[in-house]
Amino acid sequence: MYPLNYFLFLQIILFLFITPGTPRIVIISYSMNYGIQKCIWTALGDVTANIIQATLVIFVIGSFFSENSALLNSFKWIGVTYILYLAYDLYNSKPKDINSKNINSKSLFSFFKDGFLVAGTSPKAWMFFPLIFPQFIDFNSNYFVQFIILITTYVVLDFLSLIAYALLAQKLIKWIKANPKTINTISASVLVIIAGIIVVTQQY
C-alpha cells in the first residue's frame, strides 16, 4: 500500500532539506576545502545515519525516544560538542587551492564519519523519525513496503540536496578565492550559533 499523504510528506522533507542546517553547513565548508568528491562520502555518512534512525524507530524502539527525555538530552549534548569540534576544525583548516592538484590527507572514512555523527547525534532527527515519520504509515496494512518507499524518498532527496549544496559551494569558491579564509570563518561561526540555538531551544 502507498504511504498516507505521500505528497505532504514530500513537501515537509523538501522544506527541511532546503533549510541550511548543520549537515549542509558542513557540506559547504568541506566542498570548498576538499572538493565535491570528498563531500559524497560525508553525504553518504549522513544518509546512513538517517536510515539507521528510521529503522530503529519504526521496527525496534517505537516511541522510546520521544518518551525518554534523558536520552534525547544526552544526544543533544553529544551533538553540540561535536558541532563545536567541527567549527574549531573548519576554522583552523587551510582552504583548498582551486588550482591545486594536491590531494588532502583527510581520509575518506573521516568524511563519512563526520556526516554520520552530525546526523546521528542530531536531536532534531531523533524527534523527526518517531514523531513525524510514523504519521505517514498505515500500520494496519503492509507497513514494511510503505517504510521502504518513505525512507528511499527521504534518503535520495537528502543526498541530492547535500550534493546540490556542495555544487553551489564550488561556484561560490571562485567568488571568494581572493580571501579563502572567509568561508571557514563564516561556516565555523554559523556552526557555533547552531550549537547555541540547540542548547537554548531544544529542551527535553
- In tens, the pLDDT along 30-83 reads 888 888 899 999 999 999 999 998 898 778 765 565 566 676 677 678 768 877
Q: Residue 26: CB partners within 8 Å, gap ≥ 6?
A: 42, 86, 90, 114, 115, 118, 187, 191
Query: Which amino acid makes up residue 110?
Result: S
Which among 192, 197, 201, 202 has a CA at the least distance from the CA of 73?
202
Q: Given a cut of 50, is residue 119 above it in pLDDT?
A: yes
Separation of alpha carbons 188 and 182, rounded Å: 10
Of 16-25, 114-123, 144-153, least confident by mean pLDDT is 16-25
Q: What's the confidence (pLDDT) of residue 103?
A: 46
Alpha-carbon span 80 to 118, nearest angstrom: 9
Report domain extents, the chain.
Answer: 22-96+104-201
- What radius of gyration do the chain's Cα atoms show? 18
CA–CA dist 12, 153 (Å, integer)? 12
Portion of the chain with pLDDT greater than 90, in percent: 23
Q: How confident is the model at residue 97 (pLDDT cuts 50, 70, 90)?
A: very low
